[in-house]
Amino acid sequence: MVVMNSSLHSAPKRNGLRVLALVAACLLASLAAAGPRVVVQGLLPGAAIISVDGERKLMRAGDEFRGVRLHAATPEVADVEVEGERMQLRLSQVVGTAYAEPELQSVVIRRDNALQYQTRAAINGRDVMVLVDTGANLVAMNEADARHLGVDLANAEPTQVETASGMARAWRVSLRSVDVGGIVVHNVEAGVMEGRFPVTILLGMTYLRHVKMEEKQGVMTLFRTQ
């Protein structure tokens, strides 16, 4: 008769469990060593919007958030300290890989002295100033701006729009692209008003419906997840 020693069969199983536990511990250690995932999502003079492991916060110079300290910021770069290491980060630059989050595009706009949110944009590839206007149902501009952007009014659809002064002649057009701080929307419906108004191009809902907006303490953030 042959007697099987059960301990001989259980030993490889216990060894396998030890190996799995060791691998898991190594993976956790490597993730911890990688440190937090830090992304600069917005830059202002003296402040920055920083994401740490997926959680966003508006930080001012001197603030600390989840192990990240903001020493200084300009519209071009943030001077940050991450776990004791000082570094210069530009917009959308990423540090660390321990946490994977969807890529977030964001634009920060400061309220001006007229209590309006104006910023530079590229429409049809040309630089212009735009005014964020959630009350405008589409992007709107005057004839001169339309010509500057290469809009063909001769073949545009004529229409009438209501203004504070009454009904006005206008044209419905489609813009190839509207780019605000890198957030690009293609084939944007727009209205071209006869005459000189609006003086500044209105960034209306045919663009804004493609982004999410947040407003806090005179700062508006437009952002979109890729």
pLDDT level of residue 98 (50, 70, 90 thresholds): very low
Side-chain half-sphere of 85: how many Cα atoms within 13 Å? 11
Contact 140, 160 (CB under 8 A): no
Asked if residue 217 and residue 158 are part of one domain, the reply reads yes
Where b means 16+ CB within 10 Å and e means fewer, 78-104 reads bbbebeeeeeebebeeebbeebeeeeb
Mean pLDDT of 26-49: 72
Residues 126 and 67 both lie in one domain: no
Query: Residue 86 is part of which domain span?
Result: 38-101
Assign residue 156 the CATH number of its domain: 2.40.70.10
Is residue 169 domain-resident?
yes
Inside any domain, residue 140: yes
What pTM, to 2 d.p., does this model score?
Answer: 0.61
pLDDT in tens, 113-171: 999 999 999 999 999 999 999 999 999 999 999 999 999 999 999 999 887 778 889 99
How many CA atoms, within 13 angstroms, populate the side-chain half-sphere of residue 66? Answer: 15
- pLDDT for residue 18: 61
Query: Among 47-51, 90-94, 209-213, which range has the highest average pLDDT?
Result: 209-213
Tell me whether residue 142 is in a domain.
yes
Are 66 and 130 contained in the same domain? no
Q: Is 26 inside any structural domain? A: no
Please identify, among 101, 136, 156, the residue that sits at the C-terminal boundary of a domain: 101
Decide if 14 is inside a domain: no
| 172 in the same domain as 82 | no
Q: Specify the CATH number for the domain of residue 71.
A: 2.30.30.830
Say if CB 175 and CB 125 are below 8 A apart: no
pLDDT attached to residue 32: 44
Are 172 and 123 part of one and the same domain? yes
Q: For the chain, how many structural domains are there in total?
A: 2
Point out the domain boundary residue: 49, 74, 101. Answer: 101
Tens of pLDDT, residue by residue over 44-84, are 889 988 989 888 899 999 999 999 999 999 888 899 999 88
Give me the mean pLDDT over the 197-206 stretch: 97
Residues 130, 67, single domain; the answer is: no
Whether residue 107 lies inside any domain: the answer is no
